[in-house]
A and B are shown apart, each in its own frame.
Chain A
């Protein structure tokens, strides 16, 4: 029976096109870059050694390429019930659905340095359905405070319906 009922309600679809912008309270900082590099076990010296970064063609140490899209440091929000303090769309998803990540596509346009102060804009681009799963696609743009776009991220979240007995 429930197969006939689409989970895409008008209320849910009204979220398409929503936009939110977060401006980081402070620049990235060299310690944040070093912390991440150590956490993922990447010993590339361009993240921590200024001389190595200069000889690689950068003006200062750089963040690992995907850092900007993995961190939520640019936010300064409280934690939700699960402890998460990053961006989420408070979508009216039907009860019982589980949230899983679908995938990411990154376009990396310029390096992120310790003095970069991020301005991050999330746009909810589409909400679609396939086999009662709900697919939510966002476009995230990471810029410096002067408006230079450093990276974009197409972020896909999938809401999976409960298994029916």
Chain B
């Protein structure tokens, strides 16, 4: 019914996260930590740039699933672990693959988020690993 089978690849979600995106996200979540926008502060901490708020990746993981499953998708559970910091200007890609389709209609997707080598000084990295999302599609 849903069109999801074990092994189905979700369309990649690709997003370049500029400083403007980080500022907008900080404002919208009421999280004004300088780490996310203050160049002098992050330089003092020895970081290459303002840090993407890791929790934003939860929104991107959910967006990928909902874009694929449509407006009657209901995400029930999801989880993820932070593996590497992402800095302003980097491009992230959300990858997803169907891991299981339950008799109860719950579909489980394995996900991860990587950065490309271009926006990261020539080094690709896995920003979020071990991510998973369980959802249903209402009839």
When the two chains form their complex, are residues B79 and A56 in contact, meaning their CB atoms are under 8 A apart?
Answer: no
Interface of A is mostly: mixed
Does B21 belong to the interface (CB within 8 Å)? yes
Given that A106-B79, A108-B77 are contacting pairs, would A85 and B55 also be in contact in the complex, using a CB cutoff of 8 Å? no
User: B29, A70: Cβ atoms under 8 Å?
Assistant: yes
- Chain B count of residues within 8 A CB distance of the other chain: 39
Contact across chains for B29 and A52 when beta carbons are under 8 A apart: no
Give bound CA distance, A41 to B35, whole Å. 21
Most A-side CB within 10 Å, residue of B34, B56, B58, B82: B58
Residue of B nearest to A110 (CB): B74
Q: Are A40 and B81 in contact (CB-based, < 8 A)?
A: no
> Is the pair B77, A73 in contact by a Cβ cutoff of 8 Å?
no
Chain A residues within an 8 Å CB radius of B76: 107-108
Q: Of B34, B78, B82, which is within 8 A of A82 by CB?
A: B34
In the docked arrangement, what's the CA distance between A82 and B31, Å? 10
Q: Nearest A residue to B25 by beta-carbon distance?
A: A39
Majority SS of interface residues in chain B?
Answer: mixed
A117 to chain B: closest CB distance in Å? 16
Interface of chain B residues 17 through 74 with chain A (CB within 8 A): 21, 24-25, 27-35, 38, 53-56, 58-63, 66-67, 71-72, 74
Counting CB contacts under 8 A, is B101 at the interface? no
Q: Does B75 contact A (CB under 8 A)?
A: yes
- Interface pair B72/A57, CB less than 8 Å apart: yes
Q: Who on chain A is nearest to B65 by CB?
A: A65
Selected from A52, A65, A104, the residue in CB contact (under 8 A) with B55 is: A104
Quick one: given A39-B25, A102-B82, A107-B76, are A44 and B33 in contact (CB under 8 Å)? no
Name which of A14-22, A30-38, A128-136, A141-149 contacts chain B: A30-38
CB interface residues, A 40-59, toward B, < 8 Å: 40-42, 44, 46, 52, 55-57
With A44-B63, A72-B30, A84-B32 as contacts: A105 and B77 at CB distance below 8 Å = yes
Contact between chains at B81 and A102 (CB < 8 Å): yes
Whether B80 lies near A103 (C-beta < 8 A) is: yes
B residues in contact (CB < 8 Å) with A: 15, 21, 24-25, 27-35, 38, 53-56, 58-63, 66-67, 71-72, 74-82, 130, 138
A/B interface sample: 20 pairs, CB < 8 A: A36-B29, A40-B25, A40-B59, A41-B15, A42-B63, A56-B71, A64-B62, A65-B62, A65-B75, A66-B59, A66-B62, A70-B59, A75-B30, A79-B32, A82-B33, A104-B55, A104-B58, A104-B79, A104-B80, A108-B76
Chain A contact residues, CB within 8 Å of chain B: 32, 35-36, 38-42, 44, 46, 52, 55-57, 64-67, 69-73, 75, 79, 82-86, 100-108, 154
